[in-house]
């Protein structure tokens, strides 16, 4: 049976080809309501990369139990961290994309950077459509996941592939799989920790909490666990920490199966029970603050530590729009854009205008 392709946009002779960069994060509901959260969870938990259970066994659980009970509970959690501008994850990802385009422009690269969400909006498909409408002939997919996992990075590749099935004339794609040990990413993390210590003081231990994955994924060959440990080790080395001064843990368990250990909240309870009075916690695997950092860590994990005998819990925000983070993303993008005709030489007025735009975006973020 022949495939059916969507109509191609009109070709404009003489138009310079567009090169796109798609900055992709996990996703968020459109609103902190049970209805919007149900739509988001249905998409997220239907992904076979996320839930590696046969559909025949999983579908009755998902639609008969989870999507009937969990949306209302999750909506309350989203409401507790929602901002006037919307979901923090979407707000930060949009800002990161704008700042990344601005910095790349200042550096002489003519590219179009758009934000996208693997689940929810703006979707990968809608943003690829937007780039295609602008005549994009080459697209770099930059997932905002420093550590590679089949459940995250590979799922982004899957969605790009699904979009490709509907189109005849495809752009050339490149994918960034990981940057867990990139020196610029590690330096940005270290800078954020030092800045936090300078402003808030330093705790007795630095806990690095990464998103969890089922333990079986490690046995099946997923490199995520190893890459998290390497990020933790490199960050500790950059900060000059001994093995006794930091610890790596994993958060966000789901279901009854064994997940990567040690678990973050039980670790905090154990540390407080052993007499640790102060802890600093950073989530190096999250490029932007979201429900997993703002609610699960800065609210629930904080309460667990303090109620178990701890006296001071200090959450170190994600890299978000920190200049060192945007510089790291720009360097990673530039590395993967090599060989594509992105380089232009902006005149002084253009460069100054780009710098002003980026400074305005940074200022707007600082005032929020």
Query: What would the two tokens of residue 353 be?
Result: 């205008």
pLDDT at site 257: 87
CATH class of 18-179+323-367: alpha beta
pLDDT tens digits for range 347-363: 555 666 666 776 776 66
pLDDT at site 11: 55
pLDDT at site 68: 97
Strands 246-251 and 136-143: unpaired
Cα–Cα distance measured from residue 232 to residue 237, given in angstroms and rounded to the nearest whole number: 9
pLDDT at site 346: 54
CATH class of 183-316: alpha beta
278-282 sheet: strands from edge to edge: 246-251, 205-211, 278-282, 312-316
pLDDT tens digits for range 87-138: 999 999 999 999 999 999 999 999 999 999 999 999 999 999 999 999 999 9
pLDDT at site 256: 82
Specify which residues 113 forms β-bridges with: 21
Residues of the chain under the 50 pLDDT cut: 1
Which residues of the chain form CATH 3.40.50.1400? 18-179+323-367, 183-316
Reference 149, options 234, 252, 239; nearest CA is 252
pLDDT at site 12: 56
* Eight-state DSSP code of residue 1: -
Cα–Cα distance measured from residue 124 to residue 138, given in angstroms and rounded to the nearest whole number: 15
Any binding-site annotation on 325?
A: no
Cα–Cα distance measured from residue 356 to residue 359, given in angstroms and rounded to the nearest whole number: 5
Reference 232, options 270, 180, 276; nearest CA is 180
Any binding-site annotation on 292?
A: yes
């Amino acid at each position: 049976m022949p495939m059916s392709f969507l109509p191609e946009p009109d070709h404009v002779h003489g138009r310079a080809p567009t090169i796109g960069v798609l900055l992709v994060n996990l996703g968020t509901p459109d609103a902190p309501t049970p209805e919007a959260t149900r739509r988001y969870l249905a998409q997220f938990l239907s992904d076979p990369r996320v839930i590696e259970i046969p559909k025949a066994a999983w579908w009755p659980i998902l639609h008969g139990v989870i999507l009937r009970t969990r949306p209302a509970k999750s909506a309350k959690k989203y409401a507790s961290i929602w901002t006037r501008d919307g979901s923090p994850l979407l707000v930060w990802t949009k800002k990161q994309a704008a700042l990344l385009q601005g910095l790349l422009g200042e550096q002489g690269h003519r590219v179009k950077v758009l934000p996208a969400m693997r689940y929810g909006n703006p979707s990968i498909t809608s943003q690829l459509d937007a780039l295609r409408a602008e005549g994009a002939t080459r697209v770099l997919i930059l997932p905002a996941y420093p550590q590679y996992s089949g459940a995250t990075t590979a799922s982004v590749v899957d969605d790009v592939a699904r979009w490709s099935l509907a189109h005849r004339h495809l752009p050339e794609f490149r994918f960034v799989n990981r940057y867990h040990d990139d020196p610029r990413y590690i330096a940005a993390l270290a800078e954020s920790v030092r800045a936090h210590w300078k402003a808030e003081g330093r705790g007795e231990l630095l806990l690095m909490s990464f998103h969890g994955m089922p333990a079986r994924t490690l046995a099946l060959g997923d490199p995520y666990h190893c890459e998290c440990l390497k990020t933790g080790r490199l960050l500790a080395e950059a900060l000059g920490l001994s093995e006794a001064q930091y610890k790596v843990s994993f958060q966000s368990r789901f279901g009854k199966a064994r997940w990567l250990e040690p678990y973050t909240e039980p670790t905090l309870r154990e540390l407080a029970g052993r007499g640790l009075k102060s802890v600093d916690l950073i989530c190096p695997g999250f490029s932007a603050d979201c429900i997993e950092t703002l609610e699960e860590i800065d609210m629930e994990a904080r309460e667990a530590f303090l109620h178990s005998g701890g006296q001071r819990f200090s959450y170190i925000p994600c890299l978000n729009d920190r200049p060192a983070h945007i510089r790291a993303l720009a360097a990673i993008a530039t590395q993967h854009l090599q060989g594509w005709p992105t380089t232009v030489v902006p005149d002084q007025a253009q460069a100054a205008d780009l710098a002003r735009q980026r400074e305005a975006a940074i200022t707007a973020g600082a005032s929020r």
